[in-house]
């Protein structure tokens, strides 16, 4: 509840002329927005560009927010549509790039926790390889399936929230998520067989 009240307070302050309130709103949500963009594009630079575009859209359209839903739901709608549009643009250049698992490189992994240093090196490496296979498979899903898997399985959004974000019916969402999970299993099974 506190998060909702704080977002509403910042939006109202911004609409009354406080530019710093918008900056605070961005800071509160930028990690989540970037994380979704990164999961959707699979590339740090593209995710940064997409996230920046999203916050420009939010800045230009915040006056249209009517406080009928949570700000995060309104924001996620913009994120979903922006990610889809970004990927479909002809300028999207790194659709099938491999994901870096380096914590120090430009493509820092934001989508999963890496095992702590107490684990055996083989186990840590195996976990990283598995995470890479999963993310590559997610990147290869069709647009709607990919976004629904990201929202449900990576962002832990409820079906009700996803309905509010996407405007899809709950049955459609559940069906597409189910089909996406089946497709992911098939892709991962193929990848594992290819490695043998």
Bigger pLDDT: 49 vs 91: 49
Within-domain flag for 193: no
> Could you give phi then psi for residue 32, rounded to 5 degrees?
-65, -45
Q: Which two tokens stand for residue 74?
A: 């309104």
Tokens of 147: 């976004």
pLDDT digits 0-9 by tens, 85-105: 887 773 444 444 333 333 333
Query: How many domains does the chain divide into?
Result: 1
- Asked whether residue 31 is domain-assigned, the answer is yes
Residue 81 in tokens: 């549509």
Domain housing 40:
1-96
| Distance of alpha carbon 137 from the chain centroid | 15
Residue 190 lies in a domain: no
Q: Tokens 């740090």 sit at which residue?
A: 44
Question: Cβ–Cβ contacts within 10 Å for residue 191, how many?
Answer: 14
In a domain, 62, yes or no: yes
pTM over 0.85: no
Instruction: Kindly state whether residue 55 falls inside one of the protein's structural domains.
Output: yes
List alpha helices for 42-70, DSSP H.
44-61
What pLDDT digit, counting tens, does each position of 181-192 carry? 999 988 888 766
In a domain, 57, yes or no: yes
pLDDT band at 194 (very low <50, low <70, confident <90, very high): low
Distance CA 172, CA 141 (A): 16
The rounded distance, in Å, linking the Cα atoms of 188 and 138 is 10
Q: Residue 51 maps to which CATH number?
A: 1.10.1740.10
Residue 110 belongs to some domain of the structure: no
Distance set, CA 89 to CA 27, 106, 107, 173, 192 (Å): 27, 23, 21, 25, 32
Residue 96: what pLDDT?
40
For residue 112, pLDDT over 50 is answered with no
Is position 123 within any domain? no
């Amino acid at each position: 509840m506190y998060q909702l009240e704080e977002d509403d307070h910042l939006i109202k302050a911004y609409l009354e002329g406080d530019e710093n309130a918008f900056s605070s709103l961005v800071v509160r949500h930028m990690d989540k927005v970037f994380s979704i963009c990164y999961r959707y594009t699979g590339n740090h630079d593209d995710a940064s560009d997409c996230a920046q575009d999203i916050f420009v859209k939010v800045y230009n359209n915040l006056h249209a927010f009517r406080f009928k839903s949570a700000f995060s739901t309104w924001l996620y709608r913009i994120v979903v549509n922006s990610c889809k549009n970004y990927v479909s643009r002809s300028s999207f250049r790194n659709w099938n790039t491999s994901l870096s698992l380096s914590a120090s490189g430009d493509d820092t992994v934001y989508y999963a926790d890496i095992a702590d240093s107490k684990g055996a090196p083989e186990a840590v490496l195996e976990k990283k390889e598995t995470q890479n296979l999963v993310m590559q498979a997610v990147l290869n899903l069709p647009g709607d399936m990919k976004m629904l898997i990201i929202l449900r399985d990576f962002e832990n959004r409820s079906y009700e929230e996803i309905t509010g974000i996407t405007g899809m019916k709950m049955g459609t969402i559940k069906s597409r998520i189910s089909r996406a999970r089946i497709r992911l299993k098939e892709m991962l099974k193929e990848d594992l067989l290819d490695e043998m």
